[in-house]
Structure formats: C-alpha cells, structure tokens
Structure 1
Amino acid sequence: MSIPQKRTLTAVFIAALAIFSCDIFAQTIKGDYYQIKIYHYKTEKQEAVLDAYLQKSFVPALHKKGIKNIGVFKPIEADTADRKIYLLIPYASWKDAEPDNVSAGKPVVVTPENKDYASAVYNDAPYSRIETIWLSPFITRPHLMLPKLTGDRSKRVYELRSYESPTEAYHYSKVKMFNSGETDIFERLGFNPVFYGSVIAGGRMPNLMYLTTFNDKQSRDEHWKAFDADAQWKGLTGDAQYKNNVSKGDIIFLYPTAYSDY
C-alpha cells in the first residue's frame, strides 16, 4: 500500500471516529442529570421547618430558574430514628446544577420564606445531614417522564429502586439489560416510570436507580405480578449475558408531599 493510500485511509478512519465519538457524546449530553437530595432529620419540629423551607423557598426558587417537575417525597413507612425527605430534581446540564449545590462561595440570603431554615443555630439545626446522589440518564430514556395517575393523590405509591452491581462491568450489563428491553416492559405494562439513571456520584456504587408510580398499593402489586409473568422479562432473565449483574437491591416506598410537582 502506498503512502498516499495510507494517508487517505487514515483520514477516513479519523473522520469516522470523530463522527462516532460526536454521536456518543451527543447521546450523553442530551439527557437530564438527576439529583436525589435527601434530608435526614429526627423530630417533628425539624420536619415542619424543612417542609416550610422546601415549599415556600427552595422549590419556588428552582421554578423561577426554569427547573420544573421537582418531586418531593416522604417514605410511606418512616424510620423514626432517621426520618427523610426525598427530592428528585432534573437538571438539563451541570452548569444548571452547580449554583444550587455550591454554597461556600457566598452567604445564604435570609428571607421571610426561609428564615427558620437559614438562620437556625448550631444546636437546633433543621436536619441531621443532607445526602446527595447524582445520576445520568439511560440513553433510551434520556428525560424525566411525568406519571399519568388518576387515583387519589393520598393513596399513590412511588417505588424507588436501586440495583447495586458487583463491578462496573456487571453494572454495564444491568444498564444494557434495561436498555435492551426492561424499560420497554415497564412502559408496556403501565408502570408509569419517572426516571432511570446510573449513579455517577454517591455512597453506593456501581449502582443504578429508577422510580415507578402507581395509584395505590394494590395496583403496584398487580403490576409486579404481571411483570414477573411477562414472556419478554423471562427471556431477558434467561439470557446468560445478564447473569449475576445485581448484588443488592433496595426498595423504598414513597408518597408525594402536597407541594410536590407530581
């Protein structure tokens, strides 16, 4: 092969690689980034301060910035020793997320809406700790999806699941399993998924998380019964490439607060 031919082939290869890389990169950045923000607290007083702050100050401030569809949830079965409020916040980019998560650069502005929260003294804090989990979306489901529920809001069940994997390779396998059909089954059977995401920052990795919704507990149980019996699901679980890709699974049942967007 002559030098000009080699150069031509090299140029073609580089061009193809650039197109391929740009396509993958575009798929990555076009989706939402999800933040799961968890406030840990112990007392009813702390809960009241948190609710007031989130409802009257924090969530409205995000809305003003154009950040919509913010979910605010509490566990159906609360742990009285470590109570929690969960926020699910979709961001279009890291640039949008940064101002709401970097607080050391400037003091908190105290307003009538956040006074009890922002001016709390050291021995009467409104929470024990704040925990944050960051997720990137699955390529096949890049954006948050609002649930289509028709039942009584007070009876709704939001099911947050996390699947930890033994290694990054097994995590990739589980995400591939979702993208190869598992998400399709959820939607076909009417699980009302809100998001699917791979954890990119958090205390338990490698891990993926997703949220499905139901009108009530009975509906939830009926949907999972149908899922377990589904022929497509049985085909996925029987595929050898997906064996042993989950080492630990957690389920948290939540209900939406009155000021949650959905």
Structure 2
Amino acid sequence: MQPINRRSLLAGATATAVALAEGDGRAQALAAAGGSDVYELRTYRLVHGSMKERLDAYLQDAFIPAARRAGCGPVGVFTVVIGPGSPSVHVLVTHPTIVHFASLPSQLAADPSYAMAAKQFTDANPEAPSYAALDVKLMQAFPHFPRVQVPDTRKDKDRIFELRTYFSHSDKAGATKIGMFDTGGEIELFRRHGLTPVFFAQDLTGARLPSLTYLLNFPNVETRDRNWGAFGADPAWRQLIGTPGLTDPEITTGIENQILRPTSYSQI
C-alpha cells in the first residue's frame, strides 16, 4: 500500500475545516440533502440489580422492533465494561434525518404493538424504576462516512467495541480534527491497521462541544491492543500528527474512551 501523502492529509483536513467552521455550508448542505445519517445515542444509567434485565426485555421485544417499523436503521445495544459510566447501556439508533429523530416518539406512541410490549417498562413505578437516568446525544455522520457500517464479526463471541469522543477548544479546531478523519486519510490509516470503524460523527449536542465521536469494532481485546500499537507506530501516522496545524495540542483538549460489549440482540 502506498504511504499517506502528508500534503493531501493537511489539504483534506483544511478543506473540511473550512466547510464546517467558516460558513460556506458545503458539508451542511450535503447532510441536508440526505447524504448523512443522524445518530441518536441513548445512555441508560442503571444500578445493579434487576434494571438490566428489564431494560434488555424492553429493548429486544418492544423498542427495537418498533423503531425498525418506524423507519430507523440498525439499532446497536452495548454494555459498558471499561470506562466511565458503568453500569450503563448505550443504545445507538440510526435515523435518516433529524426530522425522523424528532418524530420517533409520536410514531412509537401510535404503535399499539409497541404499547403492549413496552407496558411493563414504561409503566414502572417510582419505587422500582426502569432506569436511574437517561442521557441522549445527537450526532451527524461525517459527509464521507455517511452510514453505519455493520461489522462482519457478529459471530465472534469475544468481540468488543470501542467508543471514543474527541473534544476541541473551538469550532475551527474541531472541524480540523473532523477533516483529518473525513477527507484527510486518517480513516484509511485506521483500516490499514485493523481499527475497523462502525461510524464517525460530529456531535450536535453534548456538554463539551465541539466534539466528535466514533465507534470501532474488534474481534477481541487482544486484537484491539495489538492493532492500536501498530497504528501508533506507523510512520505515516507519526508524520501526520507532527504536521503544524494538526498536532493534538493545537486541535484537541481531551479524549473519552469506553470499551463496550454488544448484547446478544444488538443489530450492530
């Protein structure tokens, strides 16, 4: 495979930064035209006990079937095993548009099959709640990575996912980091070293904007550790992150990282 060209990386990152941060609207127009999916990441905060079993039953028997009937794409369900937030469950819901995201509650309310299947979960009383808290983050898929890519490792019993969020100090810095991935070649470097992406997205809501979030898939923890090591040692990657304007201190202020395991009924 040919090495990544540093100039093309910088040019790609800069072009996307201009589109996202300086107002020419090219990336936004692509999204508005239906070029990129919208992701809803629900995080159910739990306490140890029966909450997880009730949540699993609700998601598998009520929510996922109804969401698919309503036009959502694949729904992924993941338990946090390493990182902040445990015990909690992430539910990744794929929407074709923001309008579809906004209309989903009313579509569920009008679905009699959903109402019947969800009754035990939705009618829980305060003494035995279905969850401790619910957080929702909305994301827009990158223009050049517009759809969830369902991994081909669904039969691997030890498979894991890695959810990472990068934070930046300004819209321009955040857009530059998005550009490194979306048009600058960083995703190609990921694939080269077995960091298999499921989605890349710009966060539209959240406590520490601007930020971006992505999800990777691995057959097991050992492969994850080995592949990250190979990626970090790649001369093309070392050259990229040493490029003025693309270094971590210039465009990122922190990273959050979680290791997840899919549930048996997850569609991703």
TM-score band (shorter)? 0.7 to 0.9
Once residues 26 and 173 of structure 2 are traced to their aligned partners in structure 1, the CA distance between those partners, rounded to angstroms, is: 24
**Structure 1 residue 66, shift from structure 2 partner:** 2.9
Q: 2:134 aligns with which of 127, 130, 133?
A: 130
Q: Is contact 2:38–2:94 with CA below 8 Å preserved after alignment?
A: yes
Structure 2 counterparts to residues 52-91 of structure 1, below 5 A: 52-77=57-82, 83-91=87-95
Unmatched 5+ residue regions in structure 2? Answer: 1-23
**Structure 1 residue 143, shift from structure 2 partner:** 1.3
Unmatched 5+ residue regions in structure 1? Answer: 1-20
Once residues 64 and 86 of structure 2 are traced to their aligned partners in structure 1, the CA distance between those partners, rounded to angstroms, is: 23
Cα 1:251/1:203, change in 2 over 3 Å? same
| 1:36 counterpart letter in structure 2 | L
Q: Is contact 2:163–2:213 with CA below 8 Å preserved after alignment?
A: yes
Cα 1:61/1:151, change in 2 over 3 Å? closer
Once residues 83 and 30 of structure 2 are traced to their aligned partners in structure 1, the CA distance between those partners, rounded to angstroms, is: 38
The TM-score with structure 1 as length reference comes to 0.83
Q: Secondary structure at the match of 1:48?
A: helix
The equivalent residue for 2:21 is none
Q: 1:250 aligns with which of 234, 238, 256?
A: 256
Q: Secondary structure at the match of 2:209?
A: coil
Q: Is contact 2:193–2:228 with CA below 8 Å preserved after alignment?
A: no
**Structure 1 residue 189, shift from structure 2 partner:** 2.3
Once residues 102 and 207 of structure 1 are traced to their aligned partners in structure 2, the CA distance between those partners, rounded to angstroms, is: 29
| 2:176 counterpart letter in structure 1 | S
Q: Secondary structure at the match of 1:202?
A: coil
Q: Is contact 2:71–2:95 with CA below 8 Å preserved after alignment?
A: no
Q: Is contact 1:151–1:215 with CA below 8 Å preserved after alignment?
A: no
Structure 2 counterparts to residues 108-257 of structure 1, below 5 A: 111-149=115-153, 152-153=156-157, 155-179=158-182, 180-243=184-247, 244=249, 245-257=251-263
Q: Is contact 1:197–1:208 with CA below 8 Å preserved after alignment?
A: yes
Q: Is contact 2:83–2:259 with CA below 8 Å preserved after alignment?
A: no
Runs of 4+ in structure 1 off by over 3 angstroms are 21-26, 106-112
Once residues 155 and 99 of structure 2 are traced to their aligned partners in structure 1, the CA distance between those partners, rounded to angstroms, is: 37
**Structure 1 residue 177, shift from structure 2 partner:** 1.6
Q: Flag the structure with larger Rg.
A: 1
The equivalent residue for 2:37 is 32
The equivalent residue for 2:12 is none
> Identity over aligned residues, as a percent?
27
Q: Is contact 1:161–1:210 with CA below 8 Å preserved after alignment?
A: yes
The TM-score with structure 2 as length reference comes to 0.81
Structure with the larger RCO, 1 or 2 (CA within 8 Å, 6+ apart): 2
Cα 1:163/1:101, change in 2 over 3 Å? farther
Q: Secondary structure at the match of 1:261?
A: coil
Once residues 155 and 195 of structure 2 are traced to their aligned partners in structure 1, the CA distance between those partners, rounded to angstroms, is: 14
Cα 1:215/1:62, change in 2 over 3 Å? same
**Structure 1 residue 227, shift from structure 2 partner:** 0.5
> Comparing 144-153 with 32-41, which one deviates more in the overlay?
144-153
CA deviations 1:208-234 (Å, max 9, x no partner) are 110000000011011101101112211
CA deviations 1:86-138 (Å, max 9, x no partner) are 011111101211122469xx799674421221111123211111101111111
